[in-house]
Amino acid sequence: MTGRRRHRDPPDPEPEYVPGTLLDWTNRDEHWSWEERSCRYCGGPTNLRDSKRKPAHKVCAEEALTRQAAEAAEAYQIGNTK
Ligand SMILES: [Zn+2]
């Protein structure tokens, strides 16, 4: 990697979403627990809870939501290709 000139790299493509901005988990009564549990997505320890009170990192939940939305859009398109 030495000698690689960063300033000559092409600019990074725009991300589809910025992690941490999709969900609003500012309501700590609903999305925070003192009990640390394993994230349902990545298994890492987290004090956060998703909307169903399952332990989950915010970014992991957002990734899952993004994936679900993409899959739903795909299924919708397949269902409309006739
Ligand atoms: Zn996680």
pLDDT digits 0-9 by tens, 39-69: 999 999 999 999 899 999 999 999 999 999 9
Residues by chain with Cβ below 5 Å of ion ligand 1: 39, 41-42, 44, 57, 60
In this model, does residue 22 exceed pLDDT 90? no
Cα of 75 from ligand 1 centre, angstroms: 26
Cα of 9 from ligand 1 centre, angstroms: 31
- Residue 17, in any domain of the structure: no
What range does the domain containing 64 cover? 27-82
Is residue 46 within 8 Å of residue 56, measured between CB atoms? yes
List CB contacts of 22: < 8 A, sequence separation 6 or more.
62, 65, 66
Mean pLDDT of the chain, nearest integer = 84
* Alpha carbon distance 40, 43 (integer Å): 6
- Residue 74, in any domain of the structure: yes
- Residue 60, in any domain of the structure: yes
Tell if the pTM clears 0.75, that is, is over it. Answer: no
Cα of 57 from ligand 1 centre, angstroms: 4
Cα of 34 from ligand 1 centre, angstroms: 17
- Residue 51, in any domain of the structure: yes
Q: How many domains does the chain have?
A: 1
- Residue 32, in any domain of the structure: yes
Q: Which residue has the higher pLDDT, 37 or 6?
A: 37
